Amino acid sequence: MASLEVLIGAAAAVVLLGVLAVRASVRLGLPSLLLYLAIGILLGESVLGIQFSDAGLTEAAGLGALVLILTEGGLTTRWAAVRPALGVGIALSTVAVLVSIGVVGAALHLILDLDWRTAFLWGAVLSSTDAAAVFSVLRGTGVSQRLGGMLELESGMNDAPVVLAVVLLASDDPITWLTPLLVLYELGLGAVIGYGLGVAGAWAVRRAALPATGLYPLATLAVCLLAYSAGQLAHASGLLATYVAALVLGNSNLPHRSDVLSFAEGLGWLAQIGLFVLLGLYASPPRLLDALVPALIAGTVLLLVARPLSVIAASAPFRVPWREQAFLSWSGLRGAVPIVLALIALQEGAPNAQALVDLVFVLVVVLTLLQGTTLPFVARRLGVIASEPQELGVDAAPLGELGADLLQVRVPPGSRLRGVYLRELRLPRGAMVSLVVRDEEAFTPGPDTRLREGDQLLVVTTAQAREAAERRIRAIDRAGRLARWHGESGR
């Protein structure tokens, strides 16, 4: 057995290699998850000879990593961006999943001669888009906030119903008319638990006045992990509870918000690196060759038939334009989640589960190469790229016993704050701009100071005036100095 020093050194080397792989993936135009998988395969039995075949440990690590990835996704998703897409996002994570399971299951029953229950199990495993793949690839394509919000909501929420479907289909328990009600109960209760803990956690973190900045990210992460645990212990969907709690926290006025998001982003990357390397280590290349033909068959059905039909079924009632429907069809990215789902089926003792794990592994690699590398091109060809202004960044830090807050505001390109005089901000009583940093030089502003793009403002505000001050700044950012005249409240 390797010593602790060797294990720590090996883990650190893998993480450093994974970080460098991010830069390499940008240069090569490849999704980073493929390089992580390659690192795992390189370390595995067929190359460097590390033997690893513990499916239970891989499944547990996969679920743990998925919790961290959903936490990062929820914290970094802006409610203003996804709110217009809420209906479509929910439909994609429910209706589209059912259609995909039905279409893929029926096709695999007819083509591969699987029994109906096994065929639908395979369809369920393949039906879930991957949060890590979507969050890492989609945000670099430049699509509109509404379209991006649809896909982010889908990838953040569809894991929960799919996990329930896989567990039900992989077990020997009979499926009755009560089964759909059980699924609805688990999803509904998971969402309620996540929302309740998210609201309570945001309230507690805002009022804690913790003695160190680094404690705020830890407290926020703990709330999200608590949501997962509470959801599972209540026999509800812990994954949905995690994502909802993170979404609520990420859209609350958290102290040191930028530090919280940076910490969550780092944990998300660490979870992706560890998960994909572990999956690559678990894979057996000789078995993967045997799964190539079935994987290509399943991938063709999924990409060309099931995904387009499921998108149409979910988005048609919301009158989504055909160009956006086409992009949604092509951007249903698969990643670690289907592999983890296949491992759940293996642990549940489902028939042909090992063949399913190998098939899904090959399928994820093929579809990621095909879709991940062409997604920006497809977005440009379909004309769904949007030139939207960057969101105003407001970071807050409590000033402890002073009963005040310090807001740090950066004026982004395209902001309506540009050209506004400080006197026109009309901040509420108890709030004032104390410092402006421009071109790396700081100065004390006056009423006639005119804001420019790239300026950083330090706003000192009492605790009572903080929310109103932030709303006022956001309102002017969106609608200019006549924000109230245009009915913009900054919410």
CA distance 19 to 5: 21
Place 5 in a pLDDT band, splitting at 50, 70 and 90: confident
pLDDT the model gives residue 138:
66
Task: Kindly report the CATH class assigned to 393-479.
Answer: alpha beta
360 vs 395 pLDDT, higher one:
360
pLDDT the model gives residue 135:
65
CA distance 224 to 186: 18
DSSP letter for each residue of 393-462: EEEEEE-GGG-EEEEEEE--TT-TTTT-BGGGT-PPTTEEEEEEEETTEEE---TT-B--TT-EEEEEEE
Place 490 in a pLDDT band, splitting at 50, 70 and 90: low
| pLDDT over 70 (residue 153) | yes
110 vs 383 pLDDT, higher one:
110
Q: Are 447 and 422 in contact (CB under 8 A)?
A: yes
pLDDT digits (tens, 9 = 90+) for 266-324: 888 888 888 888 888 888 788 888 888 989 999 999 999 999 999 999 998 888 889 98
Taking the domains of the chain in order of start, what are their residue ranges?
54-382, 393-479
Name the 3-class secondary structure at 385: strand
Q: What is the mean pLDDT of the chain?
A: 83
Q: Are 274 and 33 in contact (CB under 8 A)?
A: no
For residues 420-436, give the mean pLDDT.
Answer: 87
| pLDDT over 90 (residue 187) | no
CATH topology of domain 54-382: Na+/H+ antiporter like fold (1.20.1530)
| pLDDT over 70 (residue 38) | yes
Question: What is the CB-side half-sphere exposure of residue 318 using CA atoms within 13 A?
Answer: 21
Q: What is the CA angle 366-312-336, rounded to 5?
A: 30
